[in-house]
Amino acid sequence: MALIRLEGLSVFGHHGARPYEKEAGQRLEVDLELEPTDDRAESSDRLADAVDYDALYRTVREVVEDKSFHLLEALAAATAETILERFDVRRVKVRFAKQNLGWTTGGRAVIEVVRERRA
């Protein structure tokens, strides 16, 4: 079965454990990996049988822009759970990365969560 990956989505939200992070906000990079519940789209070649990429992106933006979390772990979990609720997928992996860490050596923090549909 095909895996769907959306990579390098750029979103802006007000998340963080420190007040200045929430006040200023920050740009986050998001990668998604989804496993559909079936392979209908592969054989039908019909958009109606596929996972809607635009709706996925809107869902990610909605969670990131409309909510506020202290931790990226909680943001990633909420995003994954919302995707499972709204889309016909059996498994979703959500990866958030942020670069504005304030470290003189650079670097970035990356959080990844996986959620699966319960039978």
Q: Radius of gyration over alpha carbons of the chain, in Å?
A: 15
φ, ψ at 9 (rounded to 5°)? -70, 135
| Pairing label, strands 4-13, 89-98 | unpaired
Domains of the chain, with CATH numbers?
4-116 (3.30.1130.10)
How far are the Cα atoms of 20, 73, 87 from residue 92, in angstroms, in the given order? 31, 15, 10
Position 101 pLDDT exceeds 90: no
Answer with the residue of higher pLDDT: 2 or 96.
96
Cα–Cα distance for residue pair 92/81, rounded to 1 Å: 9
Answer with the residue of higher pLDDT: 113 or 100.
113
Note the pLDDT of residue 1: 81
DSSP structure class, residue 47: G
Active site residues: 98
Q: Kindly provide the residue ranges of all beta strands, DSSP E only, lying in 1-119, ordered along the sequence.
A: 4-13, 26-36, 89-98, 109-116
Digit-coded pLDDT (tens) for 31-52: 999 999 999 999 999 999 999 9
Local structure of 105: helix, strand or coil: coil
Q: Mean of the pLDDT values across residues 95-112?
A: 84
Give residue 100's pLDDT band: very low, low, confident or very high (50, 70, 90). low
